[in-house]
A and B are shown apart, each in its own frame.
Chain A
C-alpha cells in the first residue's frame, strides 16, 4: 500500500497519531494523547491543525533531536495516564533522570523549548543536585564549561565585585606574583630535603616562641597578674546576659553593668605592669626582620614580593591620571591585558571612575 492509502485508512484505526518533525528533518509519529501532554505541541495542534499527517508534521524547536524526543515522549506517555499514584510517578521520575550528564542537559534543553514545565523542573533539580557541594573546578569538569575567568576574577566571589581599579590591579599583580612564586616553590619542593626544611622551620618557630628559661619567669609574672584578676568580676558582662535580672532591680543592674564594663580594662598603672611583664616574657626582643615568618614562601622570594607590593602601592598613592598610563603600559606585559581591556567591565566605566 502506498503511504497516501495509509493516510486515508488511518481515521478508522482505534488510535490517532500526531506527526512530529525534528530540525534534522526526521519525522516521528506518536499517539495523540501522548503528544497533547506537551503544551507546545498541544497548542500547535489546536491553533494550526498541523500534525495530522506526515506532510503536515509539526516542526519541533531546534533543541529537540530525535533521540531526546523519544525520551521526552516516554515521559509524556507515562505521565499522561491519569490513574497513576504520586508514588508511582515519583518512582518513575527518579529512574527517568538517571542518565549521563550530557543527555540530562539535552533533555533539560528540550523540555524547556517544548515548555514542558514538570519535566523542566525535574531535570533542573537533578542538575542542581549535581552542582551542590562541588568546587568550581569540579563543576566545570562535570559540564564541560570553559575556564574563562581571569586569575584576578577568581579571587573569592565578592572580591570580583570590586570595581575600584586600584584594588583590582593590585589584586591581579598580587595574585600573579603569588602564582609565579608558588610555581617556583613547587619545583623546589620536589626534593625531600625541601619538605623537611619547611617542617623544621615551623619547629624552630615553636621552640623560639616557647623559649627555655624565659617561659618559667614569664609564667610566674603572668600568674601573679592572674591571681589579682581572679578577684574581679567575671568576664561575661554582656548587656544581654546581665539584663536577665528582674526589672525592679534597675539600679543594681546599672551598677553591675558599669562595673562589668570597667572590670577588665586595666587601669593606667596596670598597663605599665603589663608592659613590663610582656617584656619579660619576650626578653629576646623580637626583631621582625630576623624572625623566620613561615607562610609557605621562601623569605627571599617574599622580600621580592613585599618590595613589589610596596612599590606598586607607592605608585598608586601618587597622582592618578599619570599612573593610569603607566599601569596600562605595565600590564601590557602580562596576559591579563586582553581580559582587562575586554573584560566584563567596559573601559567606559574606568574613565568614568573619577566621577565616583
Chain B
C-alpha cells in the first residue's frame, strides 16, 4: 500500500523500507518516523535494532508493540553512579518485565544487550526457551544471575554466538555450567567470563574451545592458570581478542617458552586484557603479538613501570590503552613516542587511598596529548593538575570527544598557582568542539560552568563532583549545553532554584542525578507537579521513618534521580525510593 501522498505514492512501502535500511544512525530513523504517518508505519515495521537508554522510559509492552520486528535490543538500567555505590542496591533496573514482553512479542529476537540491570535466572531460562534464533547475550555490569541461569542458556540456545559477562556479578552455584554446552555446539564466537570468581572446569573449557573453530574472543577468569592458558591458545590460534586468566607463576623456562610460542602462533591477535597479577618475568612472552595489538588492557597488572613501559613500547599500532598509574610519567612518555595511533587512554589508580606515592602527574597526560595526534578519549586519574597542563591538552588534542579527569582528592587546586582549575577546563571545552563526554574535578567555581554552558554544544554527558559555588553553576549548565542528555552531580552546592528554573530542560534530557546537594523535597514536589512527563525519584536509605508524604517541604533530599518517561510511575520502587 503506497505511503502518504505526493511523491511517496510513487512506489511501494518496501522500496522506502529499503532506503531506510541504509540509514545507520538511530537519530535518522527517529526523524523518518516523524515525517508523515505513512513513513511512521514503514519505519516502525522495518526497525531491526532499538536502544533503550533508560529501562523505565517506556513500558516494555509498548516498545515491543510499536516495533514488532526487532532483532537486536540494548537496554540500560541503573544510573551510572551505581558504579560508585551511590545508588541504593535495591533501586531497581529489573529485566524481568522486559524479557517477559520480548518473549511474547519478539520470538525472532537474536541479540540482547543489558547494562546495569538486575537479571534473574528465571529471565535467562525464559530467554533460553523463547527465542529459537538467539545468538548474542551480553550482560555488562549486571547482577542477580547465577551459573544455573548460564547453564540454561548454554544448554538451550542452539546457535549461541556470544556470551559476554563483562563485569557482571554471577553467583556461582553450578560448578559445571560449562558442561551444559552440548557436544554439537560449535557456534561460539565470543566467550567472556572474566567476572566469574570461582574455578571453571578447564578440561571442559578446552574441549569447548577446540570445537568452536570460529571463536574469536575468549576472556578467561582469574581461575585459569598460566599453564592451562598455553593449552587454550594452542587450540585457538585464530583468536583475535584474548583475556588471560592469572598471569603469575613461578618462573620456569620451559613454561615461558611454551607461552611465548603459543602467543607467536596467534597471528590474528588484536586485543589483549586480563594479565592479572602479572609477574615481570612472564611479560616478555607477550612480545610476539605486540606489533599487531590495537587494544591493550593492563588494569589488572600492577607491575612496575619499567616492565610495563617495555611492553607498551613494542605496541606500535595500539589504538586503545587502559593501564594503571604505576606506569608513571616515564611510561606515558614512552607511550607518546611509540604509540602514534593511540585514540583512547585510560589511566586508573592502583592504590587510590594509599600512602605509596606514584610518580604519575599532569606531565604524563600532556606528553600523551602532545605526542598522539589521534587522541580522542581520555580517562585520567591523578593527584595533581595545573591549568597550564590543561591548556596544553586543549591545544594539542582539539579532537577530543571524551575527557574525564579525576583528581583524586576533592577541591584540589592548581598546585602551582593555587587557583581553581576553571581556566583549564574552560580551555578544553572551548577548543574541543566535538566533546561529547566530560568529567570535571579539582577546585572549581561557577565560572567553569559558565564556560561549559556556553561552549560545550556537543556535550551529551557531564559528571560533576565537589564543584561550584552556588545554584548559578547548575543554572549555567542547564540553560546552556544544547545537546546535554545525562547530567550526574554529587556533593555540589546546587539546589532548588536552578532546578526549577530549568524544569523544561529536563524533559529534553535522558536523566539527571543529584546526590548530597541542596535540593529540598518541596522543590521535588513542585517539579513533579509541573512536569508530568518526568519521574522524580527521591531516595534515602536511612528511611527517616514514616512515609514520604508526611515529610515537610524543606527537608533535604539526599539522592534525586529525574528522568523523562512515557511509562508513568514505575511500580517496582523499593521502600527507600519514592516517586514524587
Contact = CB atoms under 8 A, between A and B. Distances in A.
The yes or no verdict on A and B being binding partners is: yes
Nearest to B5: A146
Interface stretch (B70-78, B364-372, B468-476): B468-476
A313 B531 CA distance: 12
A26 to B, nearest CB: 19
A246 B11 contact: no
B516 A266 contact: yes
Contact of A131 (B23, B408, B479, B497): B23
A120 B15 contact: yes
A306 B530 contact: yes
Nearest to A229: B410
Interface stretch (A17-25, A34-42, A255-263): A255-263
Interface stretch (B37-45, B182-190, B230-238, B428-436): B37-45
Contact of B497 (A139, A156, A291): A291
Main secondary structure of the interface of A (DSSP, over half): helix
Contacts, number: 260
A294 B479 CA distance: 10
Nearest to A227: B411
A139 B32 contact: yes
Contacts of B472: 206, 209-210
Interface residues of B, number: 101
A72 interface: no
Interface in A84-143: 102, 105-106, 108-109, 112-113, 120-121, 124-125, 127-129, 131-136, 139-140, 143
A278 interface: yes
A150 B568 CA distance: 22
Interface residues of A, number: 103
B272 to A, nearest CB: 16
A70 interface: no
A235 B473 CA distance: 20
A271 B302 CA distance: 39
A63 interface: yes
Contact of A344 (B41, B350, B465): B41
A355 interface: no
Interface string B497-535: 110111110000000000010101011001001101100
Contact of A160 (B15, B33, B504): B33
B358 to A, nearest CB: 13
A18 B406 CA distance: 74
A235 B410 CA distance: 7
Contact of B31 (A102, A128, A131): A131
B15 A235 contact: no
Contact of B500 (A135, A215, A288, A296): A288
8 contacts: A145-B39, A146-B5, A222-B493, A242-B352, A265-B541, A286-B496, A293-B500, A306-B529
Interface of A: 63, 102, 105-106, 108-109, 112-113, 120-121, 124-125, 127-129, 131-136, 139-140, 143-149, 153-154, 156-164, 167, 170-171, 174, 202, 205-206, 208-211, 215, 218-219, 222, 226, 229-230, 233-242, 244-248, 256-257, 259-261, 264-266, 268, 271, 274-275, 278, 281-282, 285-286, 288, 291, 293-296, 306, 309-310, 313, 344, 356
Closest 7 pairs between A and B when the two form their complex, measured CB to CB = A128-B22, A161-B66, A109-B11, A136-B34, A162-B566, A144-B6, A234-B408
